[in-house]
Amino acid sequence: MGTVLVIGNGFDLNCGLNTRYSDFFNWCQTNIAGYKRITGLHPQSILMDTSIRSAIDEKEFTVWDLYFFLKSYEMNKDKWCNVEEEINQSFKSGFWSSVLSDINYFLSNDEWGVDDEDWYFAYMLYSRFFDDESYYSRRGLPREYFKTRVVSDKEFYDVLLKELNQLERRFANYLIHEVDAKKSTYELKQKELLRTILNRTSIDEPISIVSFNYTGIVLKDDKLGIRSINIHGTLVGQPIFGISSIGNRNSSIEQFTKANRRMIDDLIPLGDFVEGSDHTIVFYGTSLNALDYDYYYNILHLFNKAKRIYFCYANYDNVDRRSEQIELSKRLIDKVYGGTFYQFMESGRVKIVSID
């Protein structure tokens, strides 16, 4: 019936925006208090490090910033999806459950447990959200005279989400500055890139753009009747950094899944945005990573019955990216359709297309 164009961060990068994971954190290092002192820091005597303590005292510095600095070995990689992978891994590993246990241990015993780098996370969240300032009045008195407070799972994960929301708003502010600084060239490159992709794949109308980005699609004087939707929120609203609902059934962390947050934010369901059930699907600039697999699955199953599926790519850094795109496309098609990638390629249903 029409064309569904699915775009990701590669689209904005090709249009000249600095939207990589590393770009954002480089900006933070200049603009967010505490970053300069803590960058690259992984102290041996963790409890003696005043740089981390001073960073924690800065209100703009979040517990997720601390997590990326101390726990992520991918901190300086280019792919923004790594941030969401780190968030996902922090839950799967049970890390935050351990931090909650450390907080409740302190509330019960008026002393911290093991002195290691994880102490900073417990101390940071305790001091920001759970300190009722009664500790010093209890010092020197028998602990059994005082009622023990227990932080529930809900209380803890609510404040953890609050910290994530703060990081998301900061990212929105960064992108707003980035778009404003390059507005004229960004709009022109965006329009040119859209036309190049569609001309090399499909211009069947209606054309619906499903964007994994937070930036908007500029559609001034467009003759193709293009519509667009940002499935993870916009810069004007609340961008969503989240995890997949697939494999994350723990009720305590459900509020961190993209599906749940889309529902809470009352974002338009894909089924209400895309009309019809058999469209040509065009992917460009998307990582095709597992954290968004549920969206890819729904897009392919809801909106493509028999028409072609295009996977578009652009070469960069003087490297031919075709083999890389084939590998990513194969993994997705085999997962969604049960090992049919080569069959789809031979029949012409799947096309790998360079837009250089």
Tens digit of each residue's pLDDT (9 = 90 or more) over 188-209: 999 999 999 999 999 999 999 9
Number of neighbours of residue 98 by Cβ within 10 angstroms: 12
pLDDT grade, residue 247 (50/70/90)? confident
Q: Which amino acid is at 270?
A: L
**What tens digit of pLDDT does each residue of 252-286 get?**
899 999 999 999 999 999 999 998 899 999 999 99
Q: Residue 222: which pLDDT band, with cuts at 50, 70 and 90?
A: low
Exposed / middle / buried, residue 88 (Cβ in 10 Å: 0-12, 13-18, 19+): buried
Kind of pairing, strands 3-7 and 207-211? Answer: parallel
With beta carbons less than 8 A apart as the criterion, state whether 76 and 53 touch: no
Predicted TM-score of the model (pTM): 0.91
Closest C-alpha among 281, 261, 270, 193 to residue 230: 270
Residue 268 and residue 164: Cα distance in Å, rounded?
Answer: 22
Domain ranges of the chain: 3-17+182-231+267-354, 37-163
* Alpha-helical regions (H) of the chain: 9-14, 21-31, 35-38, 50-56, 63-71, 81-92, 95-109, 119-125, 135-138, 153-181, 183-200, 258-264, 270-273, 293-303, 322-337, 341-347
Cβ atoms 78, 316 nearer than 8 A:
no
151 and 125 Cβ atoms separated by less than 8 Å: no
The pLDDT, as a whole number, for residue 181 is 95
Least Cα distance to 175 among 236, 230, 256, 261 occurs for: 236
* DSSP structure string for 274-322: S-SS--EEEEES----GGGHHHHHHHHHHH-SSS-EEEEE--BTTB--H
pLDDT, one tens digit per residue, over 64-102 is 998 988 887 666 455 445 888 899 999 999 999 999 999
Instruction: Decide the pairing of beta strands 226-230 and 3-7.
Output: unpaired
Task: Note the pLDDT of residue 44.
Answer: 47
C-alpha distance from residue 100 to each of 155, 160, 221, 255 (Å): 10, 11, 54, 17
pLDDT at 49: 64
Task: Report the relative pairing of strands 3-7 and 280-284 from DSSP bridges.
Answer: parallel
